[in-house]
Structure 1
Amino acid sequence: MVPALSAPRDGPRGAGSTRLNGPVTSAPATPHPALVAALRADLTSAGYTADAVRGAWGSLADEAIGHGLHGPALAALGERTDALAVLCRLLFLGAPAPRAAVDAALPSLGAEGLAALGLADRDGDTVRATALVRPQDFADARGAGQWWIASDLDEAAIGGALPTGHVLGVGGASLTLAGLQLPGHAGLALDVGTGCGIQALRARRTVDRVVATDVSARALAFTALNALLNDVDGIEVRLGSLFEPVAGELFDRVVSNPPFVITPRVEGVPEYEYRDGGMAGDDLVAAFVRGVGQVLALGGTAQLLGNWEYRTGADGLDRVREWVAASPVPLDAWVVERELLDPLAYAELWVRDGGTAPGSPAYARLVEAWLADFADREVTAIGFGYLLLRRAEDEPTLARYERITQGVGDALGIHQGAALTAWDRLARTDDEALARAVLTVADDVTEARHHLPGAEAPSVIELRQGGGFARTVQVDPALAALVGACDGDLPVGVLISAIADLLEADAAALSADLLPRVRELLFTGFLAWG
């Protein structure tokens, strides 16, 4: 049986700890299969699903939970004693429950079995959760489904700041990265910094086997439990730092939501294992980018979230570009910056994330420590975004670094996968071949024309993308006409010649102008091969 999940982590950074830059110990054993099977059966019997939980307390209380407020949900459950209500209180909200009610809600496992799995403690006739088990909906190219995800109690259940060994459940960043994972089958995947295992579970839907690593034995225990709880095989857990546990192995895919948060290295600032890699500044993300190519098979991809610093006179995306260039193996790179925060906003975000309340003396002290740390390195802003890297066969061909701050679609993994496929096809397609191609407009593309009052011709023409990165591209009349005529009937070259006649323009010059922009529209998903 796995050690109780409520047992403490390996402790603070130092001798014997399992920080990213520290020594490691052996990984935990697998939870007892019979106990986990009993829990799975009881959760199924109780109808403990995401929809049922939301229905039990309503949309307002559900939104309040996202803000760390459990009171409205507890009030909505009232005095209900049915199995669903008991599980909502105990396993979703972390509130204590009478032992008799828990035994009735979990008839196969009971309170005793829940404690044996390390998910609860018994205090006389009261059962107190030591972990959360929450239903989580998911959807990908293969369809929709649901998992149960066990993780540590959140700050609302604890009633204060999180312990530094906290194992995070499924949050916004986790869902973002899960949605970014590329579709299509692959043989072997690596999940670096697996935490509760959500990325490993997501990857296993399209790969044959997943190796999930973490510096925390406690995190690996949760990952092993969650794989077993959801009846998912083929996930192996290994304890260790970055790529140390897989030295000498090659993977088709690597995915990571690493502990990328920039934390001051000073006395009195908590170092949360789930978000803090133990390195200064953005060195953790830099080390990942520089090193991941050595565990990628040829053509293998790595996807991660990260922060990067803007320092006086240096653009943050240029820093990422330097990390990619420093890789000992060639890497294609597509990096999307989604957000840019100033040092104060960044400091306040992560101090609050640790459960320290604004207005308290501790809050002010921690924020000031962050600001002093940024000032030491002349940091003016911090970027956040998505990194997609691919081991190139020879020289890299894709080097795309861009800022996209608007709201984006849900199926970004599908979109990015299609973009990579389009990129590779375009690399094999010269301009003559592209002129012979028959193209169609993507289903989610619309056109908007803006006219000055009284003007017959539009002053601005825009192509708008409903899915993917929801891009808006300003086009001229010639490109607008070409896109509008791409209906899968005539080749691009024929269309360009016809447009040149209408505009009384030179066909060769117009082709030289439009074809590079057609390539961009194919990559970004506005156009597709017919």
Structure 2
Amino acid sequence: MPTLDADLIAGLRADFAAADFTVDTVRGLWSEAAGGALSRSHRIPAERELRAARNAGELTQAGTLAWLFVLGLPAPVDELDAALPSLSTDGAAALGLIEFAESGSGESDLVRPLVDLRPYSFVDAIGPAEWWVASDLGELALGRALDADHVLGIGGASTTLSGLIVAREVERALDLGTGCGIQAMHVARRATHVVATDISPRALEFAAFNAALNGIRNIEFRLGSLFEPVEGELFEHIVSNPPFVITPRVDEVPEYEYRDGGFVGDELVQRVIEGIRHHLAPGGIAQLLGNWEYRDGTDGLDRVRAWSRGLDHWVVERELQDAPRYAETWIRDGGTRSGDPEYDRWYAAWLDDFTARGVDYVGFGYLTLRAPIGSPTLARTEQVESSGTNPAGLGEHVARAVAAHDALVRLTDAGLADLALTLAGDVTEERHSWPGDENPIVITLHQGAGFGRSLQVDPALAGLVGACDGELTVGQISDAIATLFEVGRPELRADLLPRVRELVFTGFLNLP
């Protein structure tokens, strides 16, 4: 676990910058094929290519750092000294980043990594940026299952949440369950003061180290469970990637601090939502990830809707897993594989727990909550299949959708009909017809950004969408289509306007 020594951390930062230890540099150290294998948790191809560079005398400083901290392999002391001229190998040991290892001759000419430490790049509303992020060594470097107090680095869930974060200039923000600190660091780019909490002292140490390494000084770290460390405090923005994984509460199944909240079923997510209600300032926004159970035929989204009552809420379910698949996913996540002695016992424990509580499926998704000023107006739960869109732009999409909702709430149908809308630039149209027939039988609108939605529409709505160029109003376009199709104007408006509202919220159409 790294330590906080300002002078040593400054030396490390200077050495990383001098070595150009960046995402692009590391990616260029090995071939695309080797990088693909590494993303699938196979490091041998990348290891072979770096070893060849070393044997040819071509291993760079960044290559040494990647060998040690990204691949998790022992490195020669002299190589690390060359890669860290300001900090030195002794300084790296003093920071808790490496330990000396004896070679076969009994001399300490090798060092082993004690942490995973790698560059991380992103683009947000402010612009592109790059950090270095430390966490515990993963399964690949350890060669075994993870420890219960493992501090996770940046994974799929953390990049998803960081991409969802709405850019808000706020005085006070909260990162609940900060882990390695990545969400707190993201929010700190637009908040005057950030409070980051976690139940794990180890996680807070990593988070504080990462903030210091990247020169981020407006984060306060507090130890405690859920909202206990911030009792009585209000925040304008709350983010959380909570330990939402549903784990059977039996002694033989390990509870990993980074993913297990210690509650039965999905109670952790319920408690987080209920706590958010008491800690959001009026108009404040909370964003989090979560799991929810489908019990005895009851829709999981109905349960989330009940938890969110009294808040504006938009819940997007991106994935639904049956009970066996969910168990398999999270047993493997901890480093246990089929064939290991524990695998079958833990698998049975998961299924016993789900069966006892009537759980058939588990949903995963994103929640955007808001403390309303007045009565709630946004109550939306939906299933949106993943389209492979880049999550990096979702925060802007969510912000636009919520703003569009607020505008639409104030608009009567007559007011909406008087507006000239524009078609979003990422929308394409796909038509299918029988051979030789000019009339389409299927018209589908595709969204290239946002949630990557696809929507089947009828010819009337397709015609309206295609004519939204900011010149004609919705009412004028609708009336023209009614004349073309020889249908009543009031009837067609009544049919189209609710669907136009949906297209505005989901980002196919833009308000003026």
The answer to whether residue 100 in structure 2 is matched with residue 109 in structure 1 is no
Distance 1:348 1:138 in 2: 31
Q: Distance in 2 between matches of 1:357 and 1:475?
A: 46
Q: What's 1:422 paired with? A: 404
Q: CA deviation at 1:375?
A: 0.9
Structure-2 separation of matches of 1:184 and 1:408: 26
- 1:151 has 2:126 as partner: no
Residue 20 of structure 1 aligns with which residue?
Answer: none
1:226 deviation in Å?
Answer: 0.8
1:371 is matched with 351
1:33 pairs with 2:11:
no
Instruction: For 1:458, give the aligned amino acid.
Output: P
- 2:440 alignment partner, one of 423, 446, 458: 458
Does 2:195 align with 1:211? yes
1:409 lines up with 2:363 in the alignment: no
Q: Distance in 2 between matches of 1:44 and 1:175?
A: 23
1:263 aligns with 2:241: no
Match of 1:162 among 112, 123, 146: 146
- Is 2:64 the counterpart of 1:67? no
How far, CA to CA, are the matches of 1:517 and 1:496 in structure 2? 12
Aligned pair in 2 of structure 1 residues 57, 408: CA closer, same or farther (>3 Å)? closer
Distance 2:245 2:386 in 1: 23
Cα pair 1:121 1:127 within 8 Å, conserved: yes
Instruction: Pick one of 29, 45, 48 that aligns with 2:18.
Output: 45
Write the mapping of 1:120-519 to structure 2, written as runs, cut at 5 A. Answer: 120-123=98-101, 124-325=108-309, 330-410=310-390, 411-519=393-501
Residues 408 and 467, structure 1, Cα contact 8 Å, conserved in 2: no
When normalised by structure 1's length, the TM-score is 0.92
Alpha-carbon offset, residue 90 of structure 1 = 1.1
CA deviation map 1:366-387 (0-9, x unaligned): 1111111111101111111111
Deviation at 1:361, TM superposition (A): 2.1
Deviations 1:276-333 (A, max 9, x none): 00111111011111221111011111111111111112111111112112xxxx2011
Shift of 1:452: 2.0
d(CA) in 2 for partners of 1:494 and 1:357? 62
Match of 2:105 in 1: none
2:50 alignment partner, one of 57, 66, 77: 77
Aligned residue-pair number: 499
Look up the equivalent residue of 2:443 and give its one-letter code.
Answer: I
Q: Is the 8 A contact 1:332 1:397 kept in 2?
A: yes
C-alpha distance after superposition, 1:76-118 (max 9, x if no partner)? 1015243122111111122111222211110111111112212
> Does structure 2 conserve the Cα–Cα contact (< 8 Å) formed by 1:264 and 1:373?
yes
Per the TM alignment, residue 38 of structure 1 is displaced from its structure 2 partner at its CA by: 0.5
State the distance in 2 between where 1:499 and 1:470 align: 28
Q: In 2, Cα distance between the equivalents of 1:525 and 1:482?
A: 15
**1:506 Cα deviation after fit:** 1.5
Deviation string 1:223-242 (CA, Å, 9 cap, x unpaired) is: 11111111122111111111
Deviation at 1:50, TM superposition (A): 1.0
Question: In 2, Cα distance between the equivalents of 1:68 and 1:209?
Answer: 37
Is the 1:263–1:271 Cα contact (8 Å) retained in structure 2?
yes
The whole-number CA distance in structure 2 between the counterparts of 1:266 and 1:290 is 26
Q: Distance in 1 between matches of 2:386 and 2:26?
A: 31
Q: Describe the superposition over 1:333-392 as per-residue Cα deviations: whole angstroms up to 9, x where unpaired.
A: 111111111111111111111111212221111111111111110111111111111111
Looking at structure 1, the residues matched to 90 and 497 of structure 2 have their Cα atoms a distance apart, in angstroms, of 68
* Contact 1:204 1:234 survives alignment (8 Å): yes
SS in 1 for 2:197: strand
CA distance 1:203–1:160, shift in 2 (3 Å): same
1:524 aligned partner? 506
Partners of 1:230 and 1:61 in 2: CA distance? 29
Q: Which amino acid aligns with 2:380?
A: R
1:402 CA displacement: 0.6
Moved more, 444-453 or 248-257: 444-453
Paired with 1:461 and 1:427, the residues of 2 have a C-alpha distance of 29
Deviation >6 Å, runs of 4+: none
Check the 8 A contact 1:96/1:129 in 2, yes or no.
yes
**Partner amino acid for 1:170?**
I
C-alpha separation between the residues in 1 aligned to 2:149 and 2:33?
A: 31
SS in structure 2 at match of 1:489: coil
> What's the counterpart of residue 64 of structure 2?
86
Note if contact 2:165-2:287 (Cα within 8 Å) is conserved in structure 1.
Answer: yes
Shift of 1:408: 4.5
Report the Cα offset of residue 125 of structure 1: 2.8
Quick one: which amino acid aligns to residue 189 of structure 2?
R
Q: TM (normalized to structure 2)? A: 0.95
Report deviation, 1:454.
3.0
Unaligned runs of 5+ in 1: 6-29
Native 8 Å contact 2:319 2:386 kept in 1: no
Query: In the alignment, residue 28 of structure 2 is paired with which amino acid?
Result: G
- SS class of match (2:72): coil
The answer to whether the 8 Å contact 1:408/1:468 transfers is no
Provide Cα deviations, 1:470-508, integer angstroms capped at 9, x if missing partner: 111111222111111111112211222222222222111
User: Which residue number corresponds to residue 17 of structure 1?
Assistant: none
Contact 1:254–1:303 under 8 Å retained in 2: yes
Name the amino acid aligned to 1:405: E
Deviations 1:418-454 (A, max 9, x none): 0000000111111121111111000011112211233
Give 1:193 shift.
0.7
Contact 1:190 1:210 survives alignment (8 Å) = yes
- Please state how far the C-alpha of 1:394 moved relative to its aligned partner: 2.3
Determine the structure 1 residue equivalent to 2:104: none
